[in-house]
Structure 1
Amino acid sequence: MSVPSQSSPARPFGFPTYHPPRRLTDDTRHLCAAPYVDQDFAHQVIAETVEDEHRAVAPSFGFDLDPVIRHCFRARRLLLARHLTIAALVVAGLCLAPLATMSFLSLGYTILGVRWSRTVTPQRLRRLGMYLAGGLIALCCLPNALLLPLTLLADTAPASTPSPRSPLTPSPQEPSPLAGLVEDLLRFAVESDLLGYAVQAQAAIGRIAPFALTAACLGLLWSFRVKAYRVISEELALDAPPSRPDLPNERIVRRVNTVAAAQYGNITVQQSEPFLGSGSRLKYGWSFALILRPADPGSDAPIAADVGPRIYQRLKDSVTAMNDPALPYGARLPNAHQMEYLVADGVRTLTDPLLEPVNCVPYSTASDEVVEAVKRQPQSGLRYYERVLVTGVGNDVQDADGRLLVRAQELGITVSAFVHVAVEGGMLYTEFVSAVLPPIQDRYQLGDTLRPERVATRALLDTLRDFPADVAASGWRAGRLAWRMALTHWRMYRSPRTERDLRIRDYGARRSVRELAADPLIVKHLQELDAAKYAKLIERAAGDAVLGFLSENGYDTAEFAQRIAQVQNFHTTVFGGQVAVASTGGIFQQHQS
């Protein structure tokens, strides 16, 4: 992952410097393979990151957006060529063998209907009914609408009078040379039985065309799928060098370069979700507000101005201590990372200092001076969080002599914890939020399971499985994909105009590319346990950091210690039909009916 460069003191905001990675991470490879498996993923990624040139992007951790966007454009071009080719063969089949083609298309539409009925929602069903009703009404009214102008013209047109025959116009009795030539050709065709040969040729073509067109469609679908699978299994293999496909034009190249630089900033510009890209919230969250009073009742020492920054530093030290080399090897937490996290509202004016003045793109990096100022002034327009992530690979299993027994396994999930500290009105406010990002869907991880020598066989099996449906939907998919690609360029063209027309607009990121590819839920029980474990570990580190700071600086810790003890030692766990409530005093179990 690229390391963002800090802004210079003269410039409080800026953009990081992007360096293409030497090796693609596992998440990057899986996200690059996703558009070849799911074309909707490619549309969503391009719509979020490219089409609006003035919109911010969600932060990226553990993956790189640049190759993902490039593979999305490449996958769309490959899919468009496939759909157009198959649609052309379907049109040829309707001309040469209409009955057989219509029968095959009916089978494909039936399969598509069955698949669609499994995923349809009531909202989509009502919308489809409205579209069908409107289409039937339009078809009923269209003939009358077309005939009405002709009827009006016929009623208002004056009676025609015979025009005098021009001397240059041949008389009706005189045959024209063209008519004589046609008559001679027809006489020759009848005498040589060419019409019979034509009928026989048409019948032969009608018998051969269905098989030839079916074989052509099957071969083309198989070849396109082999191409996609070779990209996934070879170009995106574990040890393969980074692949960066070409982009359609220079404008898209400039936008992708901006996105690639902005994805590693420490500012998240959004409107509704401050922890965008972190996944779903966990139940391990709390917020406390307590009065900062001295531990000695007779002391009247004022509250220091740097209480917030010092607590953040204490939290950093606590998390760093989890991977202290002095700890035993198995007791360390090597996959814990820390980063600065600033949250900004996405609704901005054109003259906002958080916007780059030339291109009106939100800045993604704040300088160290800005970060320290926000820590001291928590009521500002920027909100600071100390973010702690646990992801990646843990420790290897070693014996007492340090020999490797079992290699560490990828965690698969990303656990994030956000800590916010604010001193306002003589009180200390502490907030803790935890979230977990589920793993990437299994279908996007095809490159890790598909061996290169099995590409042709796997492509053939998948082609045979989806063959009728792919042929039947080729025309619709080609038109839809061409429309989406044209819409991308039109929206990029409209983006500067929209920017000039509106003085205030939403510049915030809407969706995270990593969240688009994630599973809806965590399906592995061990991953659920890991999410709970690491969230509780970071929660304990955050509570101890605040408590240690208060104790060392002479503040009363009784109220905070009581509240944090209630949070850490009292929780509810549901196992099947039982509710287990555990605390330091004992365990209470209640059976549900």
Structure 2
Amino acid sequence: MSGPSVEPRRPADQDATRYLCAAAHVDPEFARDAVRELLVAEHRLPVAQPEIDLPTVLRHCIAARSRRLYRDAAIVVVLALAAVTAGWSLAAWYVALAGLWLILRAGRRPAAPLVRNLGLLAALLWAFAGAVLLTLTVTDSDPFGLRTAWHLHPPSDTDIALRLGAPAAAALCCWLTVLAEEIAAYVTVAERLRRDRFTPGRWLSAEPAWAQHALGVLGRRLADGRLEQHPVADPANPFLGSGAQRLRRRWLIELGPAASRGAPFDVADLLDRVCERLTEGLGSLDPADPAQKSGTVVVDDFAVSTVPALATGLGDDEVRLLPDVPDASLRGAGPRVFRRIRIGDDPAGLTVTGYINATAGAGLLQVELYGHVLGPVAQRYRVPDRTAPFDAVSALACAQRAARRLPATVFKAPRGLLSTAAEPACRRRNRAMLARAAACGLTVTAGARYDLREAAAAEPGADRFADEDANLYLAVIERRVREELRPLLPVGRADF
């Protein structure tokens, strides 16, 4: 007996998932935030996006995070052994290298001239202090009389060799550790994330027990139909997952003779006219093939719930949604329905979304228009399509990249190790808190505040052409709304 048929994903959907998986391996912050927000903090409601295979992306995030955990642990062990061998001279090397690293960062980061100059001055002073400490450590000099004042004995030849050799060996071992992680990430992106080899749900590495359980809980939450009915859980950001808000307009128009008690103004007809004009196409601004114009602009209804919901687990096998208690001002208020206009059918490309709502009463018409832009993931994370197979040239590139990232990786390794190792404890604490809240019928916080697609989208200004296209699309949407509202205005406001 055959099981239920599963509709295969489109190539564009596969690309969106692949690019997000690549983001997990090339962007440590993205992988770390995804694991913490969707697996450690289980009260977060993930934004429902059927076109993206969320469990597969999270498995790649777990694999990348585990690989960096092993790297940080190896670096910490190497530094501890070097500190035992070389003594306090390792601290001198650490301070000196930290000063050089700060100088490089202060020179590269864009900032006001005064701030940049102050940062360079502080970094120079730090590096100078490290150089003085190194002079006291590996030479018999007495700069500024500090050796006499601190009663330090001149080092012997054996001490100098040890204080120079141990840090150098530690630096070499740390570089090899970073290089191994770079090569592993390169092979994963170049081989496993290629379009012809990508397999969603493929097992990547050994996942800890808590991560396996968290993925199971997340899978049940995604399979819960109520998640689709409650896509919004934060009233402060009702259009979560649509990207950055770039347009916000509100118009209040006196209807006058256009509405009466016997014949109220038909706001549904107004919204239908606006949406019909937009679905006809964008004219010369439409980048799609005319033969595929029907898939460029999509119009549907979007309900904004005024009552947040909280996803919580009561046990190993039970997951449910707890409704939040609305404020007294919102008690009894139902969801608001907006017309949603989406431009762009590529899950990995630029998506512009407009939300329109209109209400009429007491001779007044209020029209709201919000425009959101979701940056293209393909522009930033199309790494698998551009990465050559691993060979000697790519190995040399990994070695150079490891040397360039070595200072920052060494300085961040202890903090990264501690924060990653604390994730299981944080998850147990969150689950205990949510269980107590569920037992008492209370909520901890409004849930949905994280979206993988939006977190990985390019920052505004990263893709100038995408920003220009988004501004043009939003201008067209606003112009269509204004054209439908203009006949309702007095003659003297023809410039509307």
Q: What is the TM-score with the length of structure 1 in the denominator?
A: 0.59
Aligned ranges 1:257-336 → 2 under 5 Å: 257-261=219-223, 267-283=231-247, 285-291=249-255, 293=257, 301-303=262-264, 307-322=266-281, 329=290, 332=293, 334-336=295-297
Q: Deviations over 1:67-125 (max 9, x none)?
A: 22222222221111111112112222223344664454344433454467659999xxx
Quickly say closer, same or farther: Cα 1:319–1:565, change in 2 above 3 A. same
- Give the Cα separation in 2 of the matches to 1:338 and 1:278: 14
Answering whether residue 185 of structure 2 is matched by residue 224 of structure 1, we say: no
The answer to whether the 8 A contact 2:267-2:360 is kept is: yes
Answering whether residue 198 of structure 2 is matched by residue 241 of structure 1, we say: yes
What corresponds to 2:351 in structure 1? 414
- Give the Cα separation in 2 of the matches to 1:359 and 1:436: 33
Rg larger for: 1
- Give the Cα separation in 1 of the matches to 2:103 and 2:289: 57
- Give the Cα separation in 2 of the matches to 1:260 and 1:563: 53
> One-letter code of the match for 1:385?
F
What corresponds to 1:488 in structure 2? 427
The answer to whether the 8 A contact 2:460-2:467 is kept is: no
The answer to whether the 8 A contact 2:339-2:356 is kept is: yes
- What SS is found at the alignment partner of 1:274? coil
1:420, distance to aligned residue in structure 2 (A): 0.8
> One-letter code of the match for 1:320?
T
What corresponds to 2:148 in structure 1? none
Q: Deviations over 1:180-203 (max 9, x none)?
A: xxxxxxxxxxxxxxxxxxxxx999
Match of 1:389 among 342, 345, 352: 342
What corresponds to 1:10 in structure 2? none
What corresponds to 2:26 in structure 1? 37
- Give the Cα separation in 2 of the matches to 1:441 and 1:37: 14
- Give the Cα separation in 1 of the matches to 2:268 and 2:230: 17
Quickly say closer, same or farther: Cα 1:558–1:36, change in 2 above 3 A. closer
Percent identity, aligned pairs only, is 22
Match of 1:255 among 206, 217, 221: 217
Match of 1:79 among 53, 68, 72: 68
- Give the Cα separation in 1 of the matches to 2:490 and 2:240: 31
1:464, distance to aligned residue in structure 2 (A): 0.9
What corresponds to 2:305 in structure 1? 344
- What SS is found at the alignment partner of 1:526? helix
Aligned ranges 1:142-157 → 2 under 5 Å: none
1:563, distance to aligned residue in structure 2 (A): 9.7
The answer to whether the 8 A contact 2:89-2:163 is kept is: no
1:465, distance to aligned residue in structure 2 (A): 0.9
Q: Deviations over 1:549-568 (max 9, x none)?
A: xxxxxxxx84258699644x
1:384, distance to aligned residue in structure 2 (A): 0.9
Aligned ranges 1:67-216 → 2 under 5 Å: 67-98=56-87, 101-114=90-103, 213-216=170-173
What corresponds to 1:406 in structure 2? none
- What SS is found at the alignment partner of 2:215? helix
More helix, by proportion: 2
The answer to whether the 8 A contact 1:55-1:362 is kept is: no
Answering whether residue 389 of structure 2 is matched by residue 429 of structure 1, we say: no
- What SS is found at the alignment partner of 1:431? strand
What corresponds to 1:520 in structure 2? 459
> One-letter code of the match for 1:220?
T
1:256, distance to aligned residue in structure 2 (A): 2.0
> One-letter code of the match for 1:383?
R
- What SS is found at the alignment partner of 2:383? helix
The answer to whether the 8 A contact 1:294-1:301 is kept is: no
1:459, distance to aligned residue in structure 2 (A): 1.6
Aligned ranges 1:374-385 → 2 under 5 Å: 380-385=333-338
Q: What is the TM-score with the length of structure 2 in the denominator?
A: 0.69
- What SS is found at the alignment partner of 1:340? strand
- What SS is found at the alignment partner of 1:276? coil
Match of 2:35 among 40, 46, 52: 46
The answer to whether the 8 A contact 2:309-2:322 is kept is: no
**What count of residue pairs does the alignment treat as equivalent?**
420
Q: Deviations over 1:336-373 (max 9, x none)?
A: 223331112354699xxxxxxx744269xxxxxxxxxx
The answer to whether the 8 A contact 1:108-1:471 is kept is: no
Quickly say closer, same or farther: Cα 1:62–1:315, change in 2 above 3 A. farther
- What SS is found at the alignment partner of 1:452? coil
Answering whether residue 400 of structure 2 is matched by residue 438 of structure 1, we say: no
Quickly say closer, same or farther: Cα 1:459–1:19, change in 2 above 3 A. farther
- What SS is found at the alignment partner of 2:422? helix
Match of 1:361 among 315, 321, 329: 321
1:273, distance to aligned residue in structure 2 (A): 1.1
